Structure formats: structure tokens, C-alpha cells
Amino acid sequence: MDVHRAGLTMAQWRQLIDEAYRGQVTEPITNIDDSRGSHFDAIFVGGGSAGRFGAAVLRSLGGRALVLERWPFLGGSCPHQACVPHHLFSEAAKELDQAQALAGRLWYGEFDPKAASILELVELFRSQRSGPHAHMNWQSAGQLDIEFVVNAEATVVDASTVHAAGRTFTAGALVLCTGARTAIPPVPGTSLAGVFDYASFIENLNYEPSRIVVIGGSKIAVEYASFYRATGTPTTIVSRGALLSTGGPGRMDDDLRRFVVDGMRLRDVGLLEHSTVTRITGEHRVEAVEVTTLDGPRRIEADFVLLATGEQPNVEPFIDALPVARDADGFVTVDSRMRTSIPHVYAAGDLLGPPLEMFKSRRSGTTAARNIMGTDSEFHYADIPDFLHTTYEVTWAGLSEREARAAFDDVVTIQVPPPELAPGETPLPMAEGSMIYGFTLPERTGFQKCVVDARSRRVVGVHHVGYGAKDAFQYLHYLISRPGGITVDELGDMNELYISPDYFIGYARLRSGQAELTSM
């Protein structure tokens, strides 16, 4: 189906995507200016955030980009099965947390766990997700003037040739952007009905879970377990190590982690750390998960298991034709210009391995595009701001206190609540999203820490649990990681929009000018 210059409206795109996803439209949907032939400056194989953003920038720079995508829409896994449902669930988790904690108080009735349905929210998402999908296609075809084929699997032939939709396309450069999927652990029982990963959970859930086991110890495990538990469903996490303790970029401050994990315990999320799943059992459907814990073997009954066990790259569409260098986990290795080991072949996004984040996908795609168009451009993602959800928003940037103490002789911290106060002794920090907790359950308002190198007076790390501070962290990360950084005195000279969810400006002001900085 040729839609080039058809000027499809949002509603028409939405209908077409829905029909294609239901299998009623099976042919490729082509938005190509055939008058210009089949040769491009670059072909982006995979139309997720890496491919779509890369193509948009290549087009902005005057190049001709083609995106090839097997789903009937551009945007990839984020709006389809990953970030967008995750944010919907996390917002629900926050609301449900408050409804449970304040049941019978203020305007909250008694909490009815049957009223909050996991299945209902998944069905709501499934029924509405083609709205964002349609926007991506509409924007890409119209506003961004990107050429693309969707609803067609692509196969790479060589470093300049790709087959898709029964056609052969050539380009001066290829950008591999095929993403990643869950790495299924080698545990018996993972193919039983009732065992899901983040993608099949969205696609296939058709019953209301009543007892849940989540396998894994990092972001997805914590985020989904928090949501499931907030609906009132008994939920246990089984994690090989300590929860949220994976090293490398994205590591958490110890106090931040403690507040998060204690908060999950307080909310009755079952936590089995340093424990290994040996078997998932059941006749045809999952019935239980067998685990070796530090205290011996355990059997946890469950009718729903989520595998949040890390990811593996989707290399199948190109690896035979292009055996690019890869790391020990199979992820494609690139230099800081996103060049693979094969000339004129670039890679971007989740295909490059952790951290698996949108900003990295988008920026690695756009970095590849700039270099292809002859603009020298590098992207280093070792130092990242990061976040996750529990029933809170948890955000951090820069160094943890432990890392700062290893790097500098004299480190001070500004912490709310301060270490000398017990949980609940102060309602601070409280701001957007935590005001009601501040006046009812003050131990639930959140936690913040600012880490300062006292000698240079530079802020080197910021850490936050609460609500509404994520935007601030995007800019705080820029300020603390730019050359020269930002001192506690400069931070204290900024104008805060009081009451703001992160108290760093106000607290920095209380300390600015102090000759010998001390912790508070």
C-alpha cells in the first residue's frame, strides 16, 4: 500500500495501524518517493526510537533516509510494550498506594483490592496504544518528511543492501537499530502458560492474576512488582543478588536504595534477595515457583510469573550478512561515533546493550546520522542521569556518596530527612505528590541527598525519592556534569519555585558562603 503524499490523517493512520496489527492489512505500508529511486544516504533497519530519531536528523541535515520497520508503526517497543505502559502502570501504582495507605481517611473509602484490576489496565492500554503509534507515523510522514516502509520485515544483504517488502534498497550507510528482547533464563518451566515477559504480558494477558512472582532484581522487576502489589495482589520478587544493586552506569546511592527497598517492604512486596529460581512448575499453567534461598528451598504458589531477567540483542536480521563485532553478552560494539567493526555500518539503541534507555537510543541514532552526513559527532553514555519507579519516582545523577568518598578526601552531604532523624520524625521533604502524606503518614514523603566535594565546593551527586522531580534532574545532571560543574554556592543562587519537589536549591542556599562546608 503506497501512502506517499496520501496525507493520511491521525484517524486514518490509527485505523490502518489497528487493521494491520489485527492482521487485516498484511501488505507493507510504503511511504517512499519513488521518483527518487531506491538509493538512500542511509537505511535505518528498525524504526524504534533509535531509527526514527536518527532518520529525522539525517533528513534535517539534508540527507535521504529510509526506515524499515516490521510493525505497522514507527516508534518501536517504547510506545508499544515498554516505557509507555510502564508509565501508565506506575502512575496507577502511585494512586493505588495512596488509596491503600489512606483507606478510610479523608475522602478515601475502604480499599477494595478487587476494584483495582491489572487486566483492566492492560486492556485499557492495548485498546488505546495505537493513538501514540498513529502520531509517530503521522509526524514522520508529514512533519519530518521521512521515507519509510512499515509492516514489513527487513533482511540485510550486505553493507549497502537491504531487502524488504519484496524490494531491494541500497544506501551509502546502514544503521542497525533492531533493539533487544528479554533474555529468557535457562530455568525449567518458562514456557508454561502464565509465564510472561514485559512484551507478552502486554500482548497476551487474558485473566486477572491472583498470586504473582517476579523474577529479576533490577528496574523492570521493581517497577512491575510495585504496580502489581499496589493493586492489592500478593507479589514476591526473587532476585539473584541484592535488589537494585547492579554495578556500572546507573548504580544507586546506598541510602537511596535503602529507602526504596524499605518502602517496598513497608508495602508488603515479598522480597527474596540472594535467591535463585530452580524451577517453575505446573501441569499446563504455572502453579508455583521453586526457589533456593539463603535459608533453604522455598516453594511460592503463583498463577502469574514475570521474567524480568535482562535483555539480549535482536541480531538475527543482519548477523549472517554482517558479522559485526559484539561483546560477551552478544550486544553490538561501536565506537563513540556509533561505527561498528564493518565500514559504513553503524548501530544504535538497545542493540548496543545497557543502559537500555530512550535517551541513549535516540542520541545514538542521531549521532550515527550526523557522522553519516559528515558532521563529526561523538556520544559518550558512561555518565547518565537515571530513574525508576516504585510507587515513587526515584531519580539520581552523578556520584553516589560511596563513589564520592572514594574519589574525594572531604565529602559533605545535604540530606532530607537528615540521618539523625528517625523515619517520620519530620514530614520533610514534602511537595507535589507528597503533601497529603506529609500531613498523614510523614515517613512516606520521600528522601533526598545532595553530595558535595567540600574542597572544590562542587555538587557531584544528587539523589531523590518522591514525586515530580524528574524534570529537574535532567537539568541538574547537565549542571553538575558540564565542565566546571556547579558549586553549592551557585546552586544556592538559583531561584526556586517553592515548594518544589527537590529541596536542593533552598538547602544549598542555607549552606552557601559557609567557609568550611559541613553536612546537614
Ligand X SMILES: Cc1cc2nc3c(=O)[nH]c(=O)nc-3n(C[C@H](O)[C@H](O)[C@H](O)COP(=O)(O)OP(=O)(O)OC[C@H]3O[C@@H](n4cnc5c(N)ncnc54)[C@H](O)[C@@H]3O)c2cc1C
Contact positions vs ligand X (CB under 6 A): 46-51, 68-71, 76-78, 82-83, 86, 153-154, 177-179, 198, 220, 314, 317, 349-350, 356-359, 361
d(CA 362, CA 315): 19
Nearer to ligand X, 75 or 446 (CB): 75
- Taking the complex as a whole, the smallest distance from the CB of residue 387 to ligand X amounts, in Å, to 8
Nearer to ligand X, 150 or 291 (CB): 150
State the DSSP code for 443. Answer: G
- In angstroms, the Cα distances linking 34 to 38, 60, 143 are 7, 20, 19
Nearer to ligand X, 177 or 289 (CB): 177
Nearer to ligand X, 353 or 438 (CB): 353
- Taking the complex as a whole, the smallest distance from the CB of residue 296 to ligand X amounts, in Å, to 32
d(CA 72, CA 137): 9
Nearer to ligand X, 315 or 491 (CB): 315
- Taking the complex as a whole, the smallest distance from the CB of residue 496 to ligand X amounts, in Å, to 26
Q: What is the 3-state secondary structure (H, E, C) of 276-317?
A: EEEEEECCCECCEEEEEECCEEEEEECCEEEECCCEEECCCC
Cα 307–chain centre separation? 16
Residue with cell 557531584: 460
- Taking the complex as a whole, the smallest distance from the CB of residue 371 to ligand X amounts, in Å, to 17
Residues linked to residue 462 through DSSP beta bridges, in sequence order: 397, 450
- Taking the complex as a whole, the smallest distance from the CB of residue 310 to ligand X amounts, in Å, to 10
Give exposure, 136-154, as e/b (b: 16+ Cβ within 10 Å).
bbbbbbeebebbbbbbbeb
Nearer to ligand X, 181 or 274 (CB): 181
Q: Around 399, how many Cα atoms within 13 Å sit in the side-chain half-sphere?
A: 19
d(CA 274, CA 264): 17
d(CA 95, CA 101): 10
- Taking the complex as a whole, the smallest distance from the CB of residue 124 to ligand X amounts, in Å, to 17
436 sits in which H/E element = helix 435-440
Do residues 379 and 362 touch, judged by C-beta distance below 8 A? no
- Taking the complex as a whole, the smallest distance from the CB of residue 76 to ligand X amounts, in Å, to 2
Amino acid at 139: Q
- Taking the complex as a whole, the smallest distance from the CB of residue 86 to ligand X amounts, in Å, to 4
d(CA 161, CA 153): 14
Q: Name, in order, each residue with C-beta under 8 angstroms of 473's C-beta and a sequence gap of 6 or more.
A: 385, 387, 395, 396, 397, 462, 464, 502
Residues linked to residue 287 through DSSP beta bridges, in sequence order: none
- Taking the complex as a whole, the smallest distance from the CB of residue 81 to ligand X amounts, in Å, to 7
Nearer to ligand X, 181 or 344 (CB): 181
Nearer to ligand X, 222 or 302 (CB): 222
- Taking the complex as a whole, the smallest distance from the CB of residue 330 to ligand X amounts, in Å, to 15
Do residues 195 and 307 touch, judged by C-beta distance below 8 A? yes
Radius of gyration of the chain (CA): 24
Nearer to ligand X, 85 or 417 (CB): 85
- Taking the complex as a whole, the smallest distance from the CB of residue 125 to ligand X amounts, in Å, to 12
Nearer to ligand X, 179 or 427 (CB): 179
Nearer to ligand X, 71 or 503 (CB): 71
